[in-house]
Chain A
Amino acid sequence: MKNKLTGGITTVAALAAALFLLQAPADSQAPAGKAPDAKAPAKGGGKGKGKARPTGPTPRTADGKVDFSGIWNGGGPVGDVGQGLIAGEEISLTPWGKKIMDSRQSKDDPEANCLPTGIPRIAPYPWRVLQTSTHIFYLFEGNIHSFRQIFIDGRKHQADPDPTWYGDSIGSWDGDTLVVDTIGFNDKFWFDFRGHPHSEQLHTIERIARPDLGTLDIETQIIDPVAYTKPFKIKFQATLRPGEELMEYICQENQQDAHHLVGPAGLP
């Protein structure tokens, strides 16, 4: 039995590397913004196994509200929060924020270490929305089997919430758009592989819309005067995955990657 180890085909590898860098981000993190300074998101990529976005009218609950229920893919940044910048917006770090971001090493990315994504980051795995008249739950297949809850029963924020990964989220309706206001974050999660930081003063305002059956638009304003000199808005789009079911995904089971990640945060 003859085994061959082939490596170091310099020309091919260099060309492949160039092509690799030109590849599109996955559909699952498709940004919806059109910022001129954001990396232009190409469509498709890969071999085209992505499923077509379902079409149809926006579903509604019995009381006429938009129904966000379903299994979704994407809807937030994975590699770079800047890919979702809305036109005219910019990410401007404070000296504190820049110091934190510059110091980050890829091996320390909480998501690589099987910790939650926080907001606005999304893991590249399906997630389900469960909606009642008083609560909305996001059930995540990954990055850890966890959930996020949004109270839509009219309550106010907790007076002094403990800092948590998903914060204290309250939602209200602006026509067909759900406006979700979240405070009470911890400062542990990163916004993306690049390591965009935040502090416990992070405040997010999400505007969530379902313009048709298969599309969930999530526009998020990031407000954090400790990490950013001014607020900025991003927009990402999730795609409905009809017929899917969530599967078990226990990230901590056999996590080996973090030990092999090298260099500063920043690569896709």
Chain B
Amino acid sequence: MRAKVLVLAATLSVLMTVPVLAHHSFGSEYDEKKPLKFENVTVTKLEWTNPHARFYVDVKDAKGVVTNWNFELASPNVLKRNGWTKNTLKEGDKVTVMGTAAKDGARLGHAQTVIGADGKRLFAGSNTADGN
């Protein structure tokens, strides 16, 4: 029971986070009622670009079908001000990502928490209200 409570609390702490304000409406693009969590997935590409850095991961479903998902991060500038470099995430890295799914059904998510293979939790552009 205690473990379940802790898991619930941890989940809530992730979902309670406030997206960093961006150049677009968060609520019009993403559905906070659709949480995503992909564990131990492989980064296939990083785009260190504006207005958002993006990384793509291959995700295998229960039937073994692999799909590629696009995750939006904050802008590179916001990430750099929070300790990232262009090499923080690289193709081939294993990560766990938690975030929010796009409203329109695209394989697109807003990353709120990224955990590297070493267990280190990376600022993803969503766990501070003043990320600039």
Chain A residues at the B interface, C-beta cutoff of 8 Å: 1-9, 12-17, 19-20, 23-29, 44-51, 73, 78-79, 106-107, 109, 111-112, 114, 123-126, 141-143, 193, 241, 244, 247-251, 253-258, 260-263, 265-268
Most buried by A among B22, B34, B40: B22
B23 and A5 within 8 A (CB): no
Q: Would you call B91 an interface residue if the criterion is a C-beta within 8 Å of the partner chain's C-beta atoms?
A: no
A47 and B128 within 8 A (CB): yes
Which residues, 17 to 66 on B, are CB-close (under 8 Å) to A? 17-18, 20-29, 32-42, 47, 49-52, 54, 59-61
Grouping DSSP codes into helix (H, G, I), strand (E, B) and loop, the B interface class, with mixed when no group exceeds half, is mixed
| Interchain CA distance A141-B132 in the complex, whole Å | 11
The interface size bin for chain B is: 35 or more
B18 and A28 within 8 A (CB): no
| Interchain CA distance A24-B18 in the complex, whole Å | 8
A45 and B18 within 8 A (CB): yes
Grouping DSSP codes into helix (H, G, I), strand (E, B) and loop, the A interface class, with mixed when no group exceeds half, is loop
B23 and A142 within 8 A (CB): yes
B29 and A260 within 8 A (CB): yes
The one of B37, B60, B106, B130 that contacts A26, using a Cβ cutoff of 8 Å: B130
User: Known: A6-B35, A46-B128, A48-B128. Contact between A124 and B20, CB under 8 A?
Assistant: yes
| Interchain CA distance A258-B102 in the complex, whole Å | 12
The one of B16, B50, B72 that contacts A23, using a Cβ cutoff of 8 Å: B16
B23 and A126 within 8 A (CB): no
Residues of B within 8 Å of A111, CB to CB, are: 23-24
The one of B12, B20, B42, B52 that contacts A19, using a Cβ cutoff of 8 Å: B12
Min distance, Cβ B122 to any Cβ of chain A, angstroms: 13
Give 11 CB contacts A-B under 8 Å. A8-B34, A12-B35, A15-B12, A26-B20, A49-B129, A106-B28, A111-B24, A143-B23, A248-B77, A250-B50, A261-B24
User: Known: A253-B49, A254-B52. Contact between A12 and B12, CB under 8 A?
Assistant: yes
